[in-house]
A and B are shown apart, each in its own frame.
Chain A
Amino acid sequence: MSGNHIIGEAAIRAGCRFYAGYPITPQNELTEYMAEHIRNAEGGIFIQSESEIAAINMIAGASAAGFRVMTSSSSPGISLKQEGISSMAACELPGIIVNIMRGGPGLGNIRPSQGDYFQATRGGGHGDYRCIVLGPASCQELADLTMDGFELADKYRNPVMILADGMMGQMMEPVIFKKPKPRLYSEKFMLRGAGTGKSKFIRGLLLDPIDSEEHNWKLARKYEVIFRKESRFETYQTDDAEMIIVAYGTAARIAKGAIKRLRGAGMKVGLFRPITLWPFPELQLRSWSSKVRHYLVFEMSTGQMLEDVRLSLQGFADIEFHGRPGGAVPTPAELANVIAKYYEKRD
């Protein structure tokens, strides 16, 4: 199965029963998969929306109605969804947004890129909010993190973004789908008609600034809990490392390939791979700064996660950067040469 198909299958297995989307490369296989398969799942609903804007508002509505929901797109389409994502965060509606990133800015191109890191990890739309952002680096992780994403979305009643790229969406690897956990989501958060009881409303508009401030702090307290509890990362060959590469997603895969080559040449290089991009595993990365002084951030962008690495290491380390933006993807050999140069220069 291709990465895009895997996300779709994992979502359906996790109980996603509402998907809305609009065609855009390189994520079309996911929309197509959902068109066929979610409708085969009991109660499954697929709508090909007139726009990405409509799609995000459709999943917001379906989420309020009590469904597990997903939409997907690629970079320019994700920009269009931001109004709705902000609104879902404000209204505390769970749901998954998949961004199969392509080269940007503007229409850019349809090649894999990581240029949307800022947008994803800083909220993306207007206002004081965060999305939980998961950065899978293998087909297995696409499956696992999609399933986990639904649980996180429900648990914190917040949008979750799966941030992958065209490479992840198109690649094929064998995958084992884990058994999904039963959904725990209280009916009190659903809007299904008042019945004989009190009517409810879901809103993000709070005209009274004091009410609005309190709502913002309430969200901020939730984000603080997420930051403390949900940071995830992986380390690879870091035990004796003298230099750590920090990379996520496709870039981390390339970095692993490069590290294997460098280790073969006797260079002590390891990898720190954030899995949650927000919350960024800041404290976990910081704890390495007492052991390792040299870091190289590698991204398929001009340097976005780089800022989080700098914030995490707080000036206690030497941080270099290598980037290939705009849809360019280096080979492990190319990256190994770059790393080797910095490794040899280290003092």
Chain B
Amino acid sequence: MAKVVFKRPKSLKENVFHYCPGCGHSIAHRIISEVVDELDIRGITIGVPPAGCAVLAYNYFDVDMIEAPHGRGPAMASAIKRCLPDRVVFSYQGDGDLAAIGIAESFHAANRGENITIIFINNAVYGMTGGQMAPTTMLDQKTTTSPAGRNKTLDGYPVKVCEIFSQLKGATYIERCMVNSPANVIKAKKAIKKAFQCQMDGLGFSLIEILSPCPTNWKMSAFNSCKWIDEVMSKEFPPGVYKDNVASLKKDSEASL
């Protein structure tokens, strides 16, 4: 008998992704779905997709989902989780959604220590609207609204979400990953699983940032986009664990039993 080595996760609907070839969203969707399957939480998971390319995430994730206005996902997710504390609630947000228009909602959800998970897709541009400058656009990176390259004097600097959010006492687990190579995809999946587990154990706020290729708006091939993440983007946004209170909080909660 043939052994199944690769199959569609149960929590991923059988719809064809509308994402561009080489886009990181499809990979992120897939690994989130795999985690949902592995933790066996499809029936208790509620997702909040953003405005942006992933606004149609409900076409792909086979879990309950509610669309949030641009940037407001963490406010909505906070409330859903407070109302339904035994559900697993995540928001899925892009860089504009999280680090520009929704920075307040994200920051304060983290600061309140809401027991939710944010999946933060950082592709350094506004993807759906056609590649405008994002808060995470690299210095000198050319976009449709920074045609001469991002200028630090005029446009400011790339916003480092993991570095900033890890300073908040309310945050429990924060890691930055990449999905530009098979090894990195596996690492990202592990981080997502740990974040969901952190939430299921009631340990508080988790955020996984994913450096994600956008070949269309970067005007690069899929291959070169993955290379650009390695050579340029990950220098500004170094991958790694920025905060991990999971083990210590777990010990505390076990000690208090």
Contact = CB atoms under 8 A, between A and B. Distances in A.
Q: Do A and B bind each other?
A: yes
Interface of A: 18, 20, 45, 47, 49-51, 53-55, 57-62, 64-67, 83-84, 87, 91, 191-196, 199-205, 207
Given A50-B105, A84-B69, A87-B69, A61 B79 contact: yes
B43 A54 contact: no
A199 B58 CA distance: 9
A47 B84 CA distance: 15
- Most B CB atoms within 10 A — which of A18, A194, A200? A194
A83 B45 CA distance: 26
Interface of B: 42-46, 48, 55-56, 58, 61-69, 72, 75-80, 82-84, 87, 104-105, 107-108, 112
Contacts of B76: 57-58, 60-61, 64
Given A50-B108, A51-B104, A203 B58 contact: yes
A62 B83 contact: yes
- Most A CB atoms within 10 A — which of B58, B62, B69? B69
B87 A61 contact: no
A207 B72 CA distance: 20
A54 B74 CA distance: 9
A64 B81 CA distance: 11
B72 A201 contact: no
B64 A192 contact: yes
A57 B68 contact: yes
Contacts of A199: 42, 61-65
Given A45-B83, A57-B72, A192-B84, 4 more contacts: A49-B108, A54-B104, A55-B75, A61-B75
A145 B45 CA distance: 36
Nearest to A93: B66
A194 B64 contact: yes
Contacts of B55: 205
Contacts of B46: 191-193
Nearest to A197: B43
A191 to B, nearest CB: 5
Contacts of A57: 68-69, 72, 75-76, 79, 105
Nearest to B73: A57
Given A193-B87, A194-B63, A54 B108 contact: yes
A89 to B, nearest CB: 12
Nearest to A53: B72
Contact of B67 (A55, A66, A91): A91
Given A45-B83, A54-B105, A83 B69 contact: yes
Contacts of B78: 47, 58, 61
B66 A64 contact: yes
A64 B43 CA distance: 16
A53 B102 CA distance: 10
Contacts of B107: 50
Contacts of B83: 18, 45, 61-62, 65-67
Contacts of B87: 192-193
B45 A193 contact: yes
Given A192-B84, A193-B84, A194-B43, A205 B79 contact: no
A57 B66 CA distance: 11
B8 to A, nearest CB: 15
Contacts of A67: 83
Contacts of A61: 48, 66, 68, 75-80, 83
A18 B63 CA distance: 24
A58 B75 contact: yes
Contacts of A45: 79, 82-83
A136 B56 CA distance: 41
A324 B223 CA distance: 67
A55 B45 CA distance: 23
30 contacts: A18-B82, A49-B108, A50-B107, A53-B72, A53-B75, A54-B108, A57-B68, A57-B79, A57-B105, A58-B79, A61-B66, A61-B75, A61-B77, A61-B83, A62-B80, A84-B72, A91-B67, A192-B84, A192-B87, A193-B44, A193-B64, A193-B87, A194-B62, A194-B63, A199-B61, A199-B62, A201-B65, A203-B65, A203-B66, A205-B55
Contacts of A192: 46, 64, 84, 87
Nearest to A58: B79
A74 B232 CA distance: 47
Contact of B64 (A18, A53, A200): A200
B69 A20 contact: no
Contacts of A191: 46, 64-66, 80
B65 A59 contact: no
A18 B58 CA distance: 26
Contacts of A53: 72, 75, 104-105
B79 A201 contact: no
Contacts of B65: 191, 199-203
A62 B75 CA distance: 10
Nearest to A59: B79
- Most A CB atoms within 10 A — which of B64, B77, B112? B64
Contacts of A49: 75, 108
- Most A CB atoms within 10 A — which of B44, B84, B105? B84
